[in-house]
Amino acid sequence: MRALLVMMAVGGLALPAAAADTYTIEPKHSSAQFTYPHFGLSHPTGKVMGAQGSLVIDSDDPAKSSVTASLDMATLTTALPEFDDLLKSDKYFDVTQFPKATFVSTLVEPTGEKTAKVTGDLTVHGVTQSVVLDVTFNRKAFNPALFKTGVGFTATTQLSRKAFGLGNLEPVVGDDIGLLIEVEAY
């Protein structure tokens, strides 16, 4: 019996350390919703879908986690077809020339048991700016529809349109844009 315990202990020492888990972003349930000031009277919303990318989650050392993601700008919608066409045109996002918005994390700073500040490079309309996302881990759970275990996150931030070369349409559309990002990954 003692020999068995010694073998198990030695065998345990030879096992590699737990690796981080890698998840693929699920595009149908991941999006970026944006709000924009309209003449200062209201804050209409829009949404961009078509997310792709991956999350690397290191539960032992969350600061080693990372995210790489992109959004398909052709999916941008405000539910106002004429405004959508304008936003997708070369007068604004120029979706033909810049079909994707991308985010690549550069730093993950845990701020609580389920929260973190994730800094990264956001590229929109061919312009890259460093942004900080306030991220909340929603949960890890088995999805019976996909027969997979997934993770969910919600992130928020504020952006300046002008910082990305998109300052046109003022004062109709204000400069401060709010982002609400929802991500499911498996």
pLDDT digits (tens, 9 = 90+) for 55-104: 999 999 999 999 999 999 999 999 999 999 999 999 999 999 999 999 99
The secondary structure of 63-91 as a DSSP string is: GG-EEEEEEEGGG-B-S-HHHHHHHHSTT
- Residue range 15-27: mean pLDDT, rounded: 81
pLDDT digits (tens, 9 = 90+) for 142-151: 999 999 999 9
Specify the DSSP element, H or E, that contains 137: strand 127-143
**Domain assignment of residue 141, yes or no:** yes
**Domain assignment of residue 33, yes or no:** yes
**Domain assignment of residue 40, yes or no:** yes
**Domain assignment of residue 5, yes or no:** no
**Domain assignment of residue 9, yes or no:** no
**Domain assignment of residue 6, yes or no:** no
Total domains in the chain come to 1
Sequence-separated (6 or more) residues with CB below 8 Å from residue 81: none
Instruction: Residue 59: give its domain's CATH number.
Output: 2.40.128.110
**Domain assignment of residue 12, yes or no:** no
User: What is the model's pTM?
Assistant: 0.87
Domain that holds residue 178: 19-185
The secondary structure of 86-136 as a DSSP string is: HHHSTTTT-TTT--EEEEEEEEEEE-SSSEEEEEEEEEETTEEEEEEEEEE
**Domain assignment of residue 4, yes or no:** no
Mean pLDDT computed over every residue of the chain? 90
pLDDT digits (tens, 9 = 90+) for 36-45: 999 989 999 9
pLDDT at 9: 37
pLDDT at 170: 84
pLDDT at 22 over 80: yes
Tell me the CA distances in angstroms from 94 to 28, 69, 91, 125, one per residue in order. 24, 20, 7, 7
